[in-house]
Structure 1
Amino acid sequence: MRWRDRGLTAILDRGPRRARRPAATTRKMESTMKLPISGLSGLGLCLLASAALAQDAGDPDAGERDFRQCRSCHSILGPDGEAIVKGGQVGPNLYGVDGRQAGTVEGFNYSDDMVAAGEQGLMWNLEDFTPYVQGPSGFLQDYTGDGSARGKMTFRLRNAEQAPDIWAYLVSVGPDGGS
């Protein structure tokens, strides 16, 4: 009986730790496993690099068009108060949102839960912006660990593919101008 045929029987008879492979089989497997593992490491690095690049992958021009649905509640006002984008005052000013602690725009009355998320370390970035605009209360509940957490934003972005574009637009009109 070959080793492979005996393998399952050995595991069942003696338990998974007692089944042993013949030394020649073990050495062969170890030498052939080195290439796939190193290949996977390279693949992992490529995926990390592409994830970092994906953050910059949004289209600010498309985001400007998509931002129209946000303007009913949000304005983008520069530090001097000049309107970059005229909009509503129901939501906070989105100028400089990239890297800003959540719940900290002066003069805006945030929900206690949004302030708590900011105090727990929520700094706005694409990674958090995307799920937030798709389901604000659900995002806050997950982030804070409080199942009753609620924000004031009731709008939900239905098309998740628009979020990176809107984010790229917000970054492009911010203090760094997308640089």
Structure 2
Amino acid sequence: MSKKLLMGATIVAGLALTAMGAQAGDAAAGKEVFKVCAACHTVEQGKNKVGPSLFGVVGRTAGTIDGFKYSKPMMEKQAAGYAWTEDNLKAYIINPKAVVPGGTMAFAGLKDEAKVADLIAFLASNK
């Protein structure tokens, strides 16, 4: 392999790893970030607080925890089949009112994207 081709492959591989790292969060760091959420939520299965349990939230359809009374706007999301993908969670964590206008989430949002990624990694580890 030529030196020029090898250098190009190394750059491409480095860019791919950088892009993957920018999206991947740290679940251990996310556990610390979750402390902000713990005032209203838990990751304990079957246990709701003021907000629903976030156990298994990644990939779950919005508004589907049995026994929790969701707001009308959240129930509209459920009826539309809205799922908590990592991208949808990211948008919601950053600005809940923009994703579910009229919803009851009191949290204003978390703007630090690294902390958001860490939080999502932590939530994804609870299933």
- After TM superposition, the score normalised by the length of structure 2 is 0.77
Q: Distance in 1 between matches of 2:66 and 2:113?
A: 29
Tell whether the 8 Å contact from 1:55 to 1:126 is kept in structure 2 after alignment.
no
Q: What is the aligned partner in structure 2 of residue 137 from structure 1?
A: 97
Q: What is the aligned partner in structure 1 of residue 55 from structure 2?
A: 95
- Using CA pairs under 8 Å that are at least 6 residues apart, name the structure with larger relative contact order, 1 or 2: 2
Deviations 1:74-133 (A, max 9, x none): 011136x6xxxxxx7111000010111001111111111111112212110110111111
Higher Cα radius of gyration: 1
SS in 2 for 1:77: coil
Tell whether the 8 Å contact from 1:130 to 1:163 is kept in structure 2 after alignment.
yes
Structure 2 unmatched runs, 5+: 1-11
How many percent identity over aligned positions? 34
Alignment of 1:115-130 (within 5 A): 115-130=75-90
> Given the alignment of the two structures, is residue 69 of structure 1 paired with residue 36 of structure 2, yes or no?
yes
Counterpart of 2:122 (choices 136, 157, 169) is 169
Q: Distance in 2 between matches of 1:100 and 1:71?
A: 19
With over 3 angstroms needed to count, the CA separation of the structure-2 counterparts of 1:89 and 1:55, relative to structure 1, is farther
- Number of matched pairs: 113
- Which contiguous aligned blocks of 4+ residues in structure 1 show a shift greater than 4 angstroms? 53-56
Deviations 1:153-179 (A, max 9, x none): 1112132321111111111121xxxxx
Q: Distance in 2 between matches of 1:68 and 1:90?
A: 15
Structure 1 unmatched runs, 5+: 1-42, 82-87, 141-148, 175-179
Q: Distance in 2 between matches of 1:122 and 1:55?
A: 25
